[in-house]
Amino acid sequence: MTTPSAAPASAPGPLHRLTLDQLRRRTSMKWRSYPADVLPLWVAEMDVPLAEPVARALTEAIAIGDTGYPAGTGYADALAAFARDRWGWDGVVRERAAIVPDVMLGVVEMLKLVTSPGDPVIVNCPVYPPFYQFVTHMDRRVVEAPLGPDLRLDLDALEQAFARCAADGGRAAYLLCSPHNPTGTVHTAAELEAVAALAGAYGVRVVADEIHAPVVAPDAVFVPYLSVPGAESGLSLMSASKAWNLAGLKAALALAGPAAAEDLARMPEEVGHGPSHLGVIAHTAALREGGDWLDAVLADLDRNRRLLGSLLAERLPSVGYRPAPGTYLAWLDCRALGLGENPSEVFLDKGRVAFSPGPDFGTGGTGHVRLNLATCPEVITEAVRRMAAAAAAGPAV
Q: What is the pLDDT of residues 338-355, one digit of tens each?
A: 999 999 999 999 999 999
- Residue 344: partners with Cβ closer than 8 Å, 6 or more residues away: 354, 355, 356, 357, 358, 369
- Residue 64: partners with Cβ closer than 8 Å, 6 or more residues away: none
Q: How confident is the model at residue 395 (pLDDT cuts 50, 70, 90)?
A: confident
Given a contact cutoff of 8 angstroms between Cβ atoms, the answer to whether 353 and 387 are in contact is yes
User: Given a cut of 50, is residue 6 above it in pLDDT?
Assistant: no
- Tell me the CATH number for domain 53-289: 3.40.640.10
Given a contact cutoff of 8 angstroms between Cβ atoms, the answer to whether 179 and 215 are in contact is yes
CA dihedral 16, 18, 20, 21 (to 10 degrees): 160
Q: What per-residue confidence (pLDDT) applies to 4?
A: 33
Q: How confident is the model at residue 151 (pLDDT cuts 50, 70, 90)?
A: very high
Given a contact cutoff of 8 angstroms between Cβ atoms, the answer to whether 95 and 315 are in contact is no
Q: What 3-state class would DSSP assign to 56? A: helix
Q: What per-residue confidence (pLDDT) applies to 89?
A: 98
Question: Residue 164: which of 149, 147, 142, 148 has the closest Cα?
Answer: 142
Q: pLDDT for 199-245, tens place per residue? A: 999 999 999 999 999 999 999 999 999 999 999 999 999 999 999 99
Q: pLDDT for 293-324, tens place per residue? A: 999 999 999 999 999 999 999 999 999 999 99
User: Given a cut of 60, is residue 397 above it in pLDDT?
Assistant: no
Q: What per-residue confidence (pLDDT) applies to 394?
A: 83
- Residue 40: partners with Cβ closer than 8 Å, 6 or more residues away: 30, 31, 33, 34, 354
Q: pLDDT for 110-124, tens place per residue? A: 999 999 999 999 999
User: Given a cut of 90, is residue 7 above it in pLDDT?
Assistant: no
- Tell me the CATH number for domain 14-50+292-392: 3.90.1150.10
The domain spans of the chain are 14-50+292-392, 53-289
Alpha carbons 104 and 252: distance in angstroms, whole number: 9
DSSP structure class, residue 297: H
- Residue 37: partners with Cβ closer than 8 Å, 6 or more residues away: 352
User: Given a cut of 90, is residue 1 above it in pLDDT?
Assistant: no
User: Given a cut of 90, is residue 46 above it in pLDDT?
Assistant: yes
Average pLDDT of the chain is 96
Q: Does the fold of domain 53-289 match that of domain 14-50+292-392? A: no
User: Given a cut of 70, is residue 271 above it in pLDDT?
Assistant: yes
Alpha carbons 31 and 25: distance in angstroms, whole number: 8
Question: Residue 381: which of 304, 322, 326, 329 has the closest Cα?
Answer: 304
Q: What per-residue confidence (pLDDT) applies to 83?
A: 98
Range 119-131 average pLDDT: 98
Output the pTM of the full model.
0.95
Percent of the chain topping pLDDT 70:
97
